[in-house]
Each structure stands twice: as structure tokens, then as C-alpha cells.
């Protein structure tokens, strides 16, 4: 898988105990990584990472990306070769309520990680995850990588700044040092193991468990809803190809097959999959906050340059997501995670995607 690049590698993942970091770690181990060093400021007891025992098969370090001494120590002590920087404050509403913490985490946290990489001789490559929010509001048109980054709300600004800072470090420091860097921009990532309140899938699942109708605050907003394993395959595909001239230093969008999915459409599909005649209800937010009405990404560059494409349709994504949320309390969680990952990888191989061979 991934042309064998990750076999025997030592990899650092920031934000490792989060939703995306967990699935990235599972995929790295399956791809043959020798060691995964995981950094996260929280040790969440109710997390897929902890509950599935990943803290027992990785080196888990509780700490903050803003701690420059810690970051450099991890990279040098463990002779890290590849870095995936995912750690961030990821919730738009929280950014509006706590702007300084969001700016510190998303901007300064990224800068500290990038600077530590610059001074770590063992690091060959790094992939930094920003967001489609970095583009700001484009009036609903497809985002392409050449678009200007101009976030306006606090969260979007933090992602624009993190993206631009990453570009500056790559241009000013990494290219001359032989470090290959790349940037990933994704839409709204969904899948099993996410517990962040304020996201539609998570809020719907919580309501389903309680036997009540989910509250949907902004039903007419439109997003790219994107399977977490599609996102992870994008991260890993990019990381494995970063030494190529057309790829090193670049930014890549990764997104789903289906665009223009309204929040109301997503909620209806979730209710249908759960069954029990549950329907969602529109409940206006108690404290409104700025959000972009419509966001959608073009992943044409990733397809043409990396031969990457999403594996699952939205319905397949939601089916696997609901399988996880129905099964996590009754099944062995490691087995559940691996079943979903193996099924996804098998489908990718059937589609002939290069990374799955």
C-alpha cells in the first residue's frame, strides 16, 4: 500500500487521539509503519483511540503542540521521519466563542510544529491538514487550489493563516533543507468514532441513542460530507508522493463524489438509516454564529496528479458510519475498526487506485 513508503517508518501524528488522528494511526499501522508517536493535549477516555487500545500499541504523549521544547524533543528522541500535523481546535462555534484559544491552537500550534521540523535532522516529509474553510466564502462555487485564501470568521481566518504559514515554511526553509511538505484541504469529514458535539452526525447519533428527534440548526447550509477513510487515504497518498517535483510543496483538495449536500438531506439520510421512525426537527440556534452558507471542493488536481479519488458514495459512507455507532459498545472495537478499514481498502483495490495496490 502507498507504494510501500510507510513500511518501517517512524511517524509523528499530532492530534492523534482525535477522530481523524485515530483513523490515520490505524491506517499507518496497517501500512507497515514501524512506530507511531502520537501527541495530543487530551487523553479522552471516550475516544476511539483509547477504547480500541491504540495507546497500547503506539507511543502516546500527552502534551500541547505549542510546547516548542516538547515538539523538538519528540522529533529528535524518536528520530521521526514523517509528520502528520492534524492537531487543531476544529469547531466553528467554539472558535466564535473562544477566539484567542483558537488562534493560539490553530496558528501558533502550527508554527511551532513547523519550526520544530526545521530543526529535526531525521524528518523527511510533513503533511499539514488545514481546511476548506481557509478559502473563505466563494459564493458557492467550487474551491480550487489556486483560489485566494481569505477567511473572514475567526475559524476560517485561523485556517487561512495556518495554511499560509505552512506555505511560508515550505518555501523559506524546507526546500533548501530537503524536507518535502504538503498541505491537505478537506471539507466536513464524517465517520465512526467522532464525538465532537455540534456536528450533525454526532448530534444525530446522540439523539438516536436517547430516542428523540435530532435538532438541526441550519438545515439549508450546503457542505461536502466526506468519509474519514477517504480523507486518510488522501493524507497518506500525498505523504507517500511528496518527493515528486509536481507534488512537493503543493496544496491538495480532497473531497467526496457527491457535492451540494444540504444539512437537511444529510439528516434525513441518517434518520432513515437508523430507523425507528425518527425524523429530525429544525431548531434555530440559541446563539447564532458566522458560517459560510455553501462550501464545496474540486478534487480534480488530486485525481490528475496523485491518481486519488474517493472510494465511497455518501450512502456507503453513512452505512459504515452507522455500523460503527451501532456496534462500538457491543463489539470488540479494534475488530470493528479493522473490519471497516479492510472493507474500504478492498473496495479501493477493486477500483484500481494506485495507493491500494
Per DSSP, helices labelled H in 104-188 are 109-118, 154-169, 175-177
**Residue that has been written with the C-alpha cell 528522541 in this structure:** 77
Measured between alpha carbons, how far is 129 from 321 in angstroms, rounded to an integer?
Answer: 22
Measured between alpha carbons, how far is 226 from 224 in angstroms, rounded to an integer?
Answer: 6
Residue 4 has phi, psi (to 5 degrees) of 75, 10
Does 155 qualify as catalytic in the annotation?
yes
Q: Cell numbers for 272, please give them.
A: 432513515
* Rounded to 5°, angle at Cα 231 from 3 and 165: 95
Chain-centre distance for alpha carbon 105: 16
Give the number of C-alpha atoms closer than 13 A to the C-alpha of residue 143, restricted to the C-beta side. Answer: 29
Q: Strand 180-186 and strand 125-129: pairing?
A: parallel
Active-site option among 143, 155, 227, 325? 155
Q: Cell numbers for 226, please give them.
A: 466526506
**What sign for the dihedral angle of Cα 226, 227, 232, 237?**
negative
Residue 188 has phi, psi (to 5 degrees) of -80, 110
Query: Catalytic residues, which ones?
Result: 155
Amino acid at each position: 500500500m502507498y507504494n510501500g513508503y510507510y513500511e518501517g517508518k517512524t511517524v509523528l501524528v499530532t492530534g492523534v487521539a482525535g477522530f481523524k488522528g485515530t483513523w490515520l494511526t490505524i491506517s499507518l499501522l496497517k501500512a507497515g509503519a514501524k512506530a507511531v508517536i502520537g501527541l495530543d493535549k487530551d487523553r479522552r477516555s471516550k475516544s476511539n483511540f483509547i477504547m480500541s487500545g491504540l495507546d497500547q500499541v503506539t507511543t502516546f504523549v500527552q502534551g500541547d503542540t505549542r510546547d516548542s521544547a516538547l515538539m523538538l524533543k519528540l522529533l529528535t528522541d524518536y528520530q521521526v521521519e514523517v509528520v502528520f500535523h492534524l492537531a487543531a481546535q476544529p469547531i466553528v462555534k467554539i472558535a466564535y466563542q473562544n477566539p484567542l484559544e483558537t488562534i493560539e491552537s490553530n496558528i501558533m500550534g502550527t508554527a511551532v510544529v513547523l519550526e520544530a521540523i526545521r530543526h529535526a535532522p531525521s524528518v523527511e516529509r510533513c503533511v499539514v491538514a488545514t481546511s476548506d474553510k481557509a478559502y473563505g466564502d466563494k459564493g458557492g462555487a467550487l474551491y480550487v487550489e489556486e483560489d485566494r485564501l481569505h477567511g473572514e470568521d475567526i475559524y476560517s481566518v485561523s485556517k487561512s493563516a495556518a495554511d499560509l504559514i505552512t506555505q511560508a515554511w515550505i518555501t523559506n526553509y524546507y526546500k533548501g533543507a530537503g524536507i518535502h511538505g504538503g498541505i491537505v484541504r478537506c471539507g466536513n469529514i464524517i465517520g465512526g468514532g467522532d464525538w465532537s458535539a455540534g456536528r450533525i452526525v454526532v448530534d444525530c447519533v446522540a439523539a438516536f441513542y436517547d430516542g428523540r428527534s435530532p435538532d438541526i440548526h441550519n438545515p439549508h447550509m450546503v457542505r461536502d460530507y466526506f468519509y474519514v477513510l477517504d480523507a486518510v487515504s488522501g493524507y497518506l497518498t500525498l505523504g507517500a508522493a511528496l518527493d515528486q517535483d509536481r507534488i512537493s510543496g503543493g496544496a491538495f483538495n480532497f473531497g467526496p463524489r457527491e457535492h451540494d449536500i444540504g444539512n437537511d438531506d444529510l439528516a434525513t439520510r441518517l434518520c432513515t438509516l437508523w430507523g425507528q421512525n425518527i425524523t429530525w426537527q429544525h431548531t434555530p440556534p440559541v446563539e447564532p454564529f458566522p458560517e459560510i452558507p455553501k462550501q464545496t471542493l474540486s478534487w480534480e488536481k488530486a485525481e490528475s496528479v496523485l491518481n486519488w479519488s474517493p472510494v465511497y458514495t455518501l450512502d456507503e459512507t453513512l452505512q459504515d458510519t452507522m455500523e460503527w455507532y451501532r456496534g462500538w459498545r457491543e463489539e470488540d472495537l479494534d475488530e470493528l475498526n479493522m473490519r471497516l478499514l479492510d472493507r474500504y481498502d478492498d473496495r479501493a483495490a477493486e477500483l484500481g487506485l494506485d495507493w491500494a495496490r
